[in-house]
Amino acid sequence: MSKRINLPPFPDSWYRVATSAEVGAGQILSLRYFGEELICWRGEDGEPHVQGAYCAHLGANIGCGGFVKGDTVVCPFHHWRYGGDGRNVEIPYRDKPQRAARLASYPTFEANGLIYAWYSAEKAEPEWNPPVLDEALDDGYMRFDSEPWEIRSHVQEIFENTVDIAHFQFVHGVSGFGAVELVQEGPMFRSIASVTMKTPRGEVNGAVESELWGLGIDCVRQRGLGPGKTIFTATPVEEELVRANYTFFVKRNEETGEPSNYGKGLMREFSRQITQDIPIWEAKIYREQPRLAMGEGAIVDFRRWVEQFYGPAAVAA
């Protein structure tokens, strides 16, 4: 049977799983990503952890009634406790823990007010970290997290948009795009596309800069138009189901305390664009051998760059 999107479903990458604010110290969150039930919890020491939700004992879902105690998480069924490394550290009715009993633990990284988990099909350790944005540390910026979009697609298909210059005109009505400049450094792929934007002040020449970090994180800004940064994240939930979010960092209007007009426009425009992309993504197939027009070589470069995120196990799956 041929699949609509014939790609291994979960590339090796860092993926956003929660906002920092959603998981305070001592809190636990029940999640589903990568086709698995997961928990994200934060110990009293402030460290976030992302782990498989099912207890090694009799399989209770720790996300349903489990709780954090100190720097451990406790299963609701018989109160077995697990540490941040996933190891069982206590069975309350026995002298010793079972060191072999453990929860699958995902490497976790927190930055920009987001919690990221590393997924690797072959359980390889990460060799790079998500970027830390200056805007996230700057008081002059306000932060907004979008509601999630659930998209029946694949992270690679979604991020291919960044180098598909022609669609900006026909799907988003952004005209006058020029050349794309590409910079590739390991897990980072930056594309800078010059565009002419319609703004309240008329048409303005600028550039959309998109910086992909693996297949889960895209840091976007509009050069030449105004200050602000956007983290667009896409995380696989199941095969052919992705949850996408925006986190916006926009300048504060010091008089009103509200986001600047440019910031408001940016958030509106990016949210509008994604709702235009979704129906295309949800209905299209993935063409392994697309017929490309002249000037669309960036799509080929992108597809070559993504190969590094599919390890041998992912390809075999």
- Triad 20, 148, 196: Cα angle to 5°: 105
Binding of residue 78 to ligand FES (CB under 6 A): yes
Interface stretch with ligand FES, choices 12-20, 74-82, 295-303, 305-313 (CB under 6 A) = 74-82
Return the range that interacts with ligand FES (CB under 6 A); candidates 58-66, 111-119, 275-283, 302-310.
Answer: 58-66
Cβ contacts of 80-84, under 8 Å, gap ≥ 24 = 80/55, 80/56, 82/51, 84/43, 84/47, 84/49
- Could you tell which of Fe ion, ligand FES, none binds residue 213, using a CB distance below 5 to 8 A set by kind? none
Tell me which of Fe ion, ligand FES, none is bound by residue 77, counting a contact when its beta carbon lies within the kind-specific cut-off of 5 to 8 angstroms: ligand FES
Residue 199: beta bridge partners? 202
The answer to whether 225 touches 21, Cβ cutoff 8 Å, is: no
**In this complex, which beta carbon is closest to ligand FES, that of residue 74 or of residue 174?**
74
The binder of Fe ion chosen from 277, 281, 302, 314 (CB under 5 A): 277
Q: Starting at the edge strand that comes first in sequence, how are the strands of the sheet with 108-111 ordered? A: 13-19, 114-119, 108-111
For residue 22 the two structure tokens come to 């959603």
Region binding ligand FES by CB under 6 A among candidate stretches 3-11, 51-59, 120-128, 224-232: 51-59
Q: Which is nearer to Fe ion, 161 or 210 (CB)?
A: 161
* Separation of alpha carbons 234 and 229, rounded Å: 16
Q: Please, which residues bridge with residue 210 across strands?
A: 191, 220
Kindly state the smallest distance separating residue 161's Cβ from Fe ion, in Å: 4
**Least distance in Å: CB of 76 to ligand FES?**
7
144 binds ligand FES (CB under 6 A): no
Residue 64 within binding range of ligand FES, rule CB under 6 A: no
How far apart, in Å, are the Cα atoms of 147 and each of 108, 228, 244, 248, 278? 22, 19, 9, 12, 15
Strand partners, 50: 40, 106
Q: Which does 60 bind (CB under 5 to 8 A by kind): Fe ion, ligand FES, none?
A: ligand FES
Selection from ligand FES, Fe ion, none that 78 binds (CB < 5 to 8 A by kind) is ligand FES
Contact set with ligand FES (CB under 6 A): 55, 57-60, 75, 77-78, 80
